[in-house]
C-alpha cells in the first residue's frame, strides 16, 4: 500500500515538475519566437514601407577630379534618394572614415602582378598614381605625366614630361627615373605584351622620359590610364625587393597603407598628395564577397559603402533613410560571341535572325531590373567610336523571314547550343534563359549550357566554342582597340576566330579575311579622326554581318551612407579620394 502511495505521489510530483518545465520552456520559446517574428516582421514591414515610399530620381551634378580643367555632367548616373521629413535631430558627426564592403578578394598589393578587372583595381588606385588619368567622361587628362608629345610622323617616338612636386608616401620626390623604372617593371608584369612595345626607355632629365616604340600603338596613351599603369618609387623598390614591397607598398597616391591582412586593407590619408589631401581620412576595404552580406553590411550600418549588391535588393536598400543608392553605367558590354565554324552559325541569315529576335529592352527591364541599357554595337555611350544614330532594331518578323530563307521555321527550328557563365556578371544565366525563350518563338531552338570562365577561355582558344557564348567585354579606355578591335579582329587572341585558326576549322561565313581588313585600321591608322571613323564603320559591319550580337551596357548598384557624397566613375572604380562627407 505504502509503495503504491509513494508511486502515486512521485507521479504527481513528476507531473507538476513536468508541467512547470513545459510551461517555462513554452514561455521562453514564445518570447524568443515573438522577438524573432517581431524583428523579421519589422524587417519585412521596413521592406514593404521602403517599396511604397515615394522615391525621387534626380540626376546628380558631377563631382569632377580636382585638377581637371573641365567640369562635365555625368549623364550615366541615376541617384535614388528618398524624400523624408526630418524632425530636429542632432547633426551626426562628419564621417572621416569610410568602411567599404568590398566584393573582391585583395590578393596582393603588388602593382604589376596579375590581370584584374577594373573595379578590383580600386585599392591599388588609392595607393598608387597612374601616369595619366581619365575624367568621368573617359577623356584623358594629365596625371604624373603632365604632357606627352609624339616626336616623329610614324608615331614611334614619344616624349613624356613628368610633373614636378609629386611626393611618394616616404617623402621622396617622384622623378623621371621612377617613371622609367616603372615602365621597365611593367614590361615584366601581367601586361608584358602591351608594355613590351616600349623598346627604348631613356631618362633625358629629371622631368623628361623619352620612349621609342617597336611599332605605333594608337591605344598607348589610353593604356597609361588603367590596368597596371602605376608609378612606383625606384629607390625603395630596389632597396626592399618586390616581395617586401608588396607587403609594405609605397606609392604617390592619395592614401598610404596603414595595415593589410587577409580580408582587410586599411588606408590612411596622404596629406602631401599632389592633388590635395583627401577629405576622407581613413578608408577600409573590407572583403565581403557575398552580395547578400554586403547588403546587410550597409543596411545594418557596419559598412558605409558598397557596390554590386543583388539588383533585386537595390530599390529597397536605396529607399532606406540612412542610405543613398546610385545606379551607374560602367564600361562593360555584354555580347554574344558567335563562332562561324558551325554550318548553322556560319549562315548569316541565322546569325542575323538571332539578333533581330532579341528584345533587349525587355531583357534590361524585366531581367536586369533596369541595371543595363541596350546597345547596338560593341561601342557603348562614352566610347570613342560610339554612334548614337545607329540602332539595330528588335524585329521578330524579320527574324522569321531570314530563317525562312534558310529553310527554318518554328516547326523546323535551327538547333544550336548556347553557353553562359553563371554569376560572372549580374543575372547572366537568367539573361541567356530569356534569350533562349525569345529565340524559340522565331524558330531557333537553343539548349543552354553553363560553363566556367576557364572553360570559356579553353573552348575559345581551341575552336570548341558552342554556337553562342554570352560574355562581358570591358573597355575602360573607351578606345575601339579594346572593343571592336580585340573582341572581333581575326588576328586578336580574344576573338572567336582564334580557335578557328588554331584548330584549322572551316569558316562557313567566308568573312574572316574581310573582317581582318575592315578592323585593321583600328590598330594601325595614325590619323585619329580617320581611325575613329573607321572604327565606327567596323563596329557596324560586324553587327550587320551577325558576327557579334551586342546586348547591353552593364550598370552597377552603389549604396552608401547618406552622409557620403560620391559620384560613381564609369570605369567602375571606387575612388575614396573623390568621396566627401
Partner 1 sequence: MPITSHYLVKRAIYMLLSVFGVSIIGFALFRLLPGDPVELMVGPGYFAKEEMAALRARLGLDQPIYIQYFIWLRDFLSGNFGRSFRFDLNVLDLIIERLPATLELIIFSVIIALIIGVSIGVISAVRPGSWADRISQTTSFVGFAIPHFLWGIIFVVVFSAALRILPASGRLDMDIEVNKITGFMLIDTLLQGNVSAFTNALTHIILPGLALSMGLIAMIHRTLRSSMLDVLNEDYIFTDRMKGLNERYIIYVRALKNALMPVITIVGIQFTFLLGGSILVEKIYGWPGLGNLVFTAVQYQDLSLVQGIIMIYAVIVVLTNFAVDLIYTLVNPKVEFK
Spell out, one character per residue from 4 to 43, where the chain touches partner 1: x when CB under 8 A holds, - when not: --------------x--xx--xx--x-----xx--xx-xx
Spell out, one character per residue from 460 to 479, where the chain touches partner 1: x when CB under 8 A holds, - when not: -x------------x-----
Residue 539 binding partner 1, by CB under 8 A: no
Looking only at residues 247 through 276 of this chain, which bind partner 1 when binding is defined by CB under 8 A? Answer: 261-264, 266
CB count within 10 Å of CB 496 equals 24
Q: Considering only CA atoms, which of 225, 180, 182 is closest in space to residue 65?
A: 225
Nearer to partner 1 by Cβ, of 40 and 437: the residue is 40
> C-alpha grid cell for residue 70?
573641365
Q: How far is CA 201 from the centre of its chain?
A: 32
Q: Considering only CA atoms, which of 278, 280, 276, 258 is closest in space to residue 267?
A: 258
| Cα 205 to Cα 121, 147, 177, 209, 237, distances in angstroms | 31, 14, 9, 7, 21
* Min dist. Cβ of residue 47 to partner 1 (A): 10
* Min dist. Cβ of residue 277 to partner 1 (A): 22
Residues found in the chain: 581
Q: Are 230 and 124 in contact (CB under 8 A)?
A: yes
- Partnered with residue 417 across adjacent β-strands are 447
Nearer to partner 1 by Cβ, of 390 and 429: the residue is 429
Looking only at residues 296 through 335 of this chain, which bind partner 1 when binding is defined by CB under 8 A? Answer: 296-297, 299-302
Nearer to partner 1 by Cβ, of 105 and 202: the residue is 105
Residue 206 binding partner 1, by CB under 8 A: no
The 3-class SS string of 493-548 reads: CCCCHHHHHHCCCCCCCCCHHHHHHHHCHHHHCCCHHHHHHHHHHHHHHHHHCCCE
- Measured CA to CA, the distance from residue 537 to residue 522 in angstroms comes to 10
Nearer to partner 1 by Cβ, of 192 and 204: the residue is 192
Binder among 137, 212, 246, 491 for partner 1 (CB under 8 A): 246
- Partnered with residue 280 across adjacent β-strands are none
* Min dist. Cβ of residue 116 to partner 1 (A): 7
Looking only at residues 339 through 398 of this chain, which bind partner 1 when binding is defined by CB under 8 A? Answer: none
The residue assigned the cell 607598398 is 249
Region near partner 1 per CB under 8 A, out of 112-120, 198-206, 270-278, 352-360: 112-120
Q: State the chain's maximal CA–CA distance in angstroms.
A: 121
Nearer to partner 1 by Cβ, of 42 and 277: the residue is 42
Nearer to partner 1 by Cβ, of 7 and 366: the residue is 7
Nearer to partner 1 by Cβ, of 387 and 458: the residue is 458
CA dihedral sign of residues 505, 509, 513, 515:
negative
Nearer to partner 1 by Cβ, of 25 and 503: the residue is 25
Q: How far is CA 4 from the centre of its chain?
A: 80
Nearer to partner 1 by Cβ, of 191 and 394: the residue is 191
By CB under 8 A, the count of residues binding partner 1 is: 60
* Min dist. Cβ of residue 118 to partner 1 (A): 11
Nearer to partner 1 by Cβ, of 177 and 458: the residue is 458
Q: How far is CA 332 from the centre of its chain?
A: 6
Residue 271 per-residue DSSP state:
T
- Measured CA to CA, the distance from residue 117 to residue 236 in angstroms comes to 27
> C-alpha grid cell for residue 188?
615584366
Looking only at the bridges linking them, the beta strands covering 444-450 and 414-420 are parallel
Looking only at residues 155 through 194 of this chain, which bind partner 1 when binding is defined by CB under 8 A? Answer: 190-194
* Min dist. Cβ of residue 373 to partner 1 (A): 24
Looking only at residues 481 through 500 of this chain, which bind partner 1 when binding is defined by CB under 8 A? Answer: 486, 493-494
* Min dist. Cβ of residue 477 to partner 1 (A): 12
Q: Are 110 and 245 in contact (CB under 8 A)?
A: yes
* Min dist. Cβ of residue 164 to partner 1 (A): 33
Nearer to partner 1 by Cβ, of 38 and 276: the residue is 38
Nearer to partner 1 by Cβ, of 26 and 72: the residue is 26
| Cα 257 to Cα 261, 266, 284, 435, distances in angstroms | 11, 6, 10, 46
Looking only at the bridges linking them, the beta strands covering 157-162 and 145-150 are antiparallel
* Min dist. Cβ of residue 36 to partner 1 (A): 6
- Measured CA to CA, the distance from residue 309 to residue 557 in angstroms comes to 6
Nearer to partner 1 by Cβ, of 40 and 204: the residue is 40
In terms of Cβ atoms closer than 10 Å to its own Cβ (0-12, 13-18, 19+), residue 140 is middle
- Partnered with residue 287 across adjacent β-strands are 102
Residue 287 binding partner 1, by CB under 8 A: yes
Binder among 48, 49, 70, 115 for partner 1 (CB under 8 A): 115
* Min dist. Cβ of residue 422 to partner 1 (A): 12
Looking only at residues 39 through 98 of this chain, which bind partner 1 when binding is defined by CB under 8 A? Answer: 39-40, 42-43
Binder among 154, 170, 202, 290 for partner 1 (CB under 8 A): 290
* Min dist. Cβ of residue 83 to partner 1 (A): 24
* Min dist. Cβ of residue 330 to partner 1 (A): 16
Q: Are 543 and 355 in contact (CB under 8 A)?
A: yes
* Min dist. Cβ of residue 10 to partner 1 (A): 10
Chain residues in the site for partner 1 (CB under 8 A): 18, 21-22, 25-26, 29, 35-36, 39-40, 42-43, 99, 101, 105, 107-108, 110, 113-116, 190-194, 246, 261-264, 266, 284, 286-290, 292-293, 295-297, 299-302, 452-455, 457-459, 461, 474, 486, 493-494
Amino acid at each position: 500500500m505504502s509503495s503504491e502511495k509513494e508511486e502515486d505521489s512521485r507521479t504527481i510530483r513528476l507531473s507538476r515538475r513536468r508541467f512547470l518545465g513545459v510551461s517555462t520552456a513554452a514561455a521562453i520559446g514564445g518570447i524568443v519566437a515573438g522577438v524573432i517574428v517581431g524583428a523579421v516582421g519589422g524587417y519585412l514591414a521596413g521592406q514593404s514601407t521602403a517599396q511604397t515610399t515615394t522615391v525621387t530620381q534626380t540626376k546628380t551634378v558631377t563631382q569632377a577630379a580636382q585638377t581637371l580643367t573641365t567640369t562635365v555632367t555625368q549623364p550615366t548616373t541615376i541617384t535614388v534618394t528618398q524624400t523624408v521629413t526630418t524632425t530636429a535631430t542632432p547633426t551626426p558627426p562628419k564621417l572621416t572614415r569610410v568602411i567599404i564592403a568590398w566584393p573582391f578578394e585583395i590578393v596582393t598589393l603588388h602593382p604589376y602582378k596579375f590581370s584584374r578587372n577594373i573595379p578590383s583595381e580600386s585599392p591599388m588606385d588609392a595607393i598608387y598614381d597612374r601616369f595619366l588619368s581619365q575624367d568621368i567622361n573617359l577623356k584623358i587628362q594629365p596625371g604624373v605625366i603632365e604632357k606627352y608629345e609624339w616626336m616623329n610622323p610614324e608615331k614611334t617616338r614619344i616624349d613624356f614630361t613628368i610633373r614636378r612636386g609629386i611626393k611618394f608616401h616616404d617623402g621622396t620626390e617622384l622623378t623621371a627615373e621612377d617613371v622609367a623604372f616603372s615602365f621597365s617593371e611593367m614590361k615584366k608584369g601581367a601586361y608584358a605584351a602591351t608594355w613590351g612595345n616600349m623598346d627604348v626607355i631613356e631618362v633625358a632629365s629629371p622631368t623628361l622620359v623619352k620612349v621609342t616604340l617597336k611599332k605605333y600603338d594608337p591605344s598607348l596613351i589610353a593604356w597609361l590610364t588603367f590596368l597596371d599603369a602605376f608609378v612606383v618609387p625606384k629607390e625603395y623598390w630596389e632597396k626592399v625587393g618586390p616581395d617586401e614591397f608588396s607587403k609594405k607598398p609605397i606609392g604617390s597616391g592619395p592614401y598610404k597603407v596603414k595595415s593589410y591582412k587577409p580580408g582587410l586593407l586599411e588606408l590612411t590619408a596622404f596629406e602631401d598628395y599632389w592633388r590635395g589631401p583627401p577629405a576622407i581620412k581613413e578608408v577600409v576595404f573590407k572583403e565581403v564577397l557575398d552580395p547578400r552580406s554586403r547588403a546587410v553590411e550597409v543596411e545594418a550600418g557596419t559598412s558605409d559603402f558598397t557596390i554590386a549588391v543583388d539588383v533585386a535588393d537595390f530599390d529597397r536598400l536605396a529607399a532606406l533613410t540612412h542610405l543613398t543608392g546610385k545606379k551607374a553605367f560602367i564600361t562593360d558590354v555584354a555580347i554574344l560571341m558567335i563562332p562561324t565554324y558551325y554550318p548553322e552559325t556560319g549562315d548569316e541569315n541565322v546569325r542575323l535572325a538571332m539578333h533581330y529576335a532579341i528584345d533587349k529592352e525587355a531583357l534590361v527591364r524585366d531581367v536586369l531590373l533596369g541595371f543595363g541599357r541596350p546597345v547596338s554595337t560593341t561601342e557603348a555611350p562614352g566610347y570613342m567610336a560610339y554612334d548614337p544614330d545607329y540602332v539595330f532594331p528588335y524585329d521578330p518578323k524579320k527574324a522569321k523571314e531570314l530563317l525562312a530563307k534558310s529553310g527554318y521555321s518554328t516547326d523546323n527550328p535551327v538547333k544550336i547550343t548556347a553557353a553562359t557563365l553563371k554569376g560572372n556578371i549580374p543575372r547572366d544565366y537568367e539573361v541567356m534563359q530569356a534569350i533562349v525563350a525569345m529565340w524559340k518563338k522565331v524558330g531557333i531552338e537553343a539548349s543552354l549550357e553553363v560553363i566556367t570562365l576557364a572553360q570559356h577561355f579553353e573552348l575559345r582558344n581551341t575552336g570548341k566554342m558552342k554556337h553562342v557564348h554570352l560574355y562581358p567585354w570591358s573597355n575602360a579606355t573607351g578606345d575601339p582597340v579594346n572593343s571592336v578591335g580585340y573582341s572581333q579582329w581575326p588576328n586578336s587572341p580574344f576573338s572567336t576566330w582564334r580557335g578557328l585558326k588554331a584548330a584549322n576549322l572551316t569558316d562557313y561565313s567566308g568573312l574572316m579575311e574581310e573582317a581582318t581588313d575592315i578592323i585593321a585600321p583600328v590598330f594601325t591608322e595614325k590619323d585619329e579622326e580617320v581611325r575613329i571613323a573607321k572604327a565606327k564603320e567596323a563596329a557596324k559591319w560586324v553587327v550587320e554581318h551577325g558576327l557579334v550580337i551586342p546586348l547591353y551596357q552593364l550598370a552597377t548598384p552603389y549604396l552608401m551612407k547618406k552622409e557620403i557624397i560620391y559620384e560613381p566613375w564609369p570605369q567602375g572604380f571606387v575612388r575614396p579620394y573623390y568621396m566627401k562627407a
